[in-house]
């Protein structure tokens, strides 16, 4: 976003929008983690931008589009979690940046089990 005021120009970078979206996503109940591909995960670890993992944004002059890749907790209705996620991310980005969020696309890439359930499954498989 670039805003030309009488006192100067305000620019909000893609990284700032991605960070806000990532934090809002992780605060949403039912979201276990953000999902990133192997190459993205390596790049984020090297650059120290882990909060942006699983987040892609396109920021224009007045609008933003956000793509999220997530892992949800097992046993929670995925559709409800994703709707709440979209609302939380949209509200956070719009309130903090003044940008209009035109879309929040969500791709569920996995399901996370609680530690107890994971341990129990591992014991059954042995």
Which residue, 64, 73, 122, is CA-closest to 96? 64
Is the separation of the CB atoms in 112 and 73 below 8 Å? yes
Helix (H, G, I), strand (E, B) or coil at 11: strand
pLDDT of residue 116: 53
How many H helices and E strands in the chain? 4, 6
Asked if residue 122 has pLDDT above 70, the reply is no
Which residue, 74, 72, 64, is CA-closest to 35? 72
Is the separation of the CB atoms in 30 and 84 below 8 Å? yes
pLDDT of residue 62: 92
Asked if residue 38 has pLDDT above 70, the reply is no
Name residues whose C-beta falls within 8 Å of residue 11's C-beta, 6 or more positions apart in sequence.
1, 2, 3
pLDDT of residue 3: 62
CA pair distance 91, 86, nearest whole angstrom = 9
For the entire predicted model, the pTM comes to 0.76
pLDDT digits (tens, 9 = 90+) for 14-36: 999 999 999 999 999 999 999 87
pLDDT digits (tens, 9 = 90+) for 56-95: 999 998 999 999 999 999 999 999 999 999 999 999 999 9
Residue 44: pLDDT band with limits 50, 70, 90: very low
């Amino acid at each position: 976003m670039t805003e030309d005021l009488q006192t100067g120009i305000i620019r909000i970078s893609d990284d700032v929008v991605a960070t806000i979206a990532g934090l809002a996503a992780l605060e949403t109940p039912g979201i276990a983690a953000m999902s990133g591909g192997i190459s993205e995960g390596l790049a984020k670890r090297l650059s120290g931008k882990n909060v942006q993992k699983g987040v892609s944004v396109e920021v224009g002059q007045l609008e933003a589009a956000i793509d999220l890749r997530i892992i949800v907790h097992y046993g929670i209705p995925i559709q409800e979690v994703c709707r709440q996620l979209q609302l939380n991310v949209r509200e956070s980005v719009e309130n903090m940046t003044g940008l209009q969020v035109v879309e929040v696309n969500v791709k569920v890439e996995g399901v996370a089990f609680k530690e107890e359930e994971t341990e129990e499954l591992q014991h059954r498989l042995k």
